Each structure stands twice: as structure tokens, then as C-alpha cells.
Amino acid sequence: MKHADTQARPGEATPEIPTVEVTLNINGDAYRLRFDSRVTLLDALRDHLVLTGAKKGCDQGACGACTVLVDGKRIVSCLALAAQYEGREITTVEGLSDNGEPHPMQAAFARRDAFQCGYCTPGQIMSAVCLEAEGRAGTDEDISEFMSGNICRCGAYPNIRAAIRDVVSEG
């Protein structure tokens, strides 16, 4: 596979990078942004809005560290072009708390020590919130299956499952 050369050669004009202007609705606030049309949602959140909860792990959609909710459904934001999400409701881990109080899933993760290094934790929490809302957290097997898109390199899976069970049982 050949890739186009995007660098200007001596004496040539620099190729123009197309930009877009979009309004992103994030955590209940609207942000008007202008950026390169190839910017991912993850990079828009981290680099343009300094919402650094979603992490850049594999940058290939395989680890889940960048998981956010869009219209209540989880997505890996490293594979999503930001411009495609104009007008949609985007929720990051920073938007889960309510008036400074942690979301029940955040509290359960802390209570159950469901993290070690913490790098994957925001993505784990976002997937767990969605999993619970979908009603797919009936058994440990269900939790493991439906959380399988989120990798924890430290192996905190038993505590993650326990935190999710706590929230489900508390209703």
C-alpha cells in the first residue's frame, strides 16, 4: 500500500490541511471548535478541551482506555472522527459526577480498589456504566463478556467485577 506524500518538496507549496468547525456537546456543555478534519474524538477531548480522563492506550480501538459514551452508547474514541459527532451527546468520565459527588460506579471502583495503575480505569468505568444501564451485568460471566473490550494490564478484573456487581445490587 502506498501512502501519499504530504510533505512539500523544496520549491513547492505546503499542502493545505482541511479544517472543520464543529460544535461538540460534551458533559452538558457545548464547545465550538476548529481543527484538522482528521482529528479523532479522543484527540479533540484531550488536546483541544483538556479533558484527559479518556486515555490513549493502543490507538487502535483494542484496549478500551479511550471509552466514552455517545448518546448513551459506549464507543472507543480513538477510532471516531470528532467531526462526525457534532450535535451528539458525549459523556466522558469527567462528566459522570453530580455536583462534585462521584457517580455510583466511580465510588464502587474506589471502594473495591478496582484499579491498580489506574490507566484503564476511566474507560473501564465508562463501559461499566453503560453495561449496567443496558442490563447486561447479571452474572460474572456476563460482566466479563460485555467488558471484554476493556483491557486491564494489571489484572484487576475480580475487583472490577465486584464493583459492577455492587452498583447493580444497589440499583
Q: Using the structure block, give the residue that is written with the C-alpha cell 492506550.
A: 57
* Local structure of 56: helix, strand or coil: coil
Instruction: Please write the tens of the pLDDT for every residue from 66-83.
Output: 999 999 999 999 999 999
- Rounded average pLDDT over 149-156: 94
Cα angle 88, 94, 97; round to 5: 105
* Local structure of 150: helix, strand or coil: coil
Assess contact for 114 and 162: CB atoms under 8 A: yes
Instruction: Please write the tens of the pLDDT for every residue from 100-144.
Output: 999 999 999 999 999 999 999 999 999 999 999 999 999 999 999
Q: How far apart are the first and last CA of the chain?
A: 52
Write down the architecture of domain 19-93 according to CATH: Roll (3.10)
Paired strand residues for 21:
34
Q: Where are the domains of the chain?
A: 19-93, 104-170
Length of the chain: 171
Q: Cβ–Cβ contacts within 10 Å for residue 50, how many?
A: 8
CATH classification of 104-170 is 1.25.40.10, yes or no? no
Residue 6's pLDDT is what? 46
Report how far Cα 30 is from the mean position of its chain's Cα atoms.
18
Instruction: Please write the tens of the pLDDT for every residue from 46-58.
Output: 999 999 999 999 9
Nearest to 27 by CA among 60, 4, 50: 50
Per the prediction, the chain carries an average pLDDT of 92
Rounded to two decimals, the pTM is 0.88
Nearest to 110 by CA among 39, 97, 99: 97
Residue 16's pLDDT is what? 79
Residue 171's pLDDT is what? 80
Burial (CB count <10 Å: 0-12, 13-18, 19+), residue 160: buried
Q: Using the structure block, give the residue that is written with the C-alpha cell 461538540.
A: 24
The percent of residues above 70 in pLDDT, for the chain, comes to 91
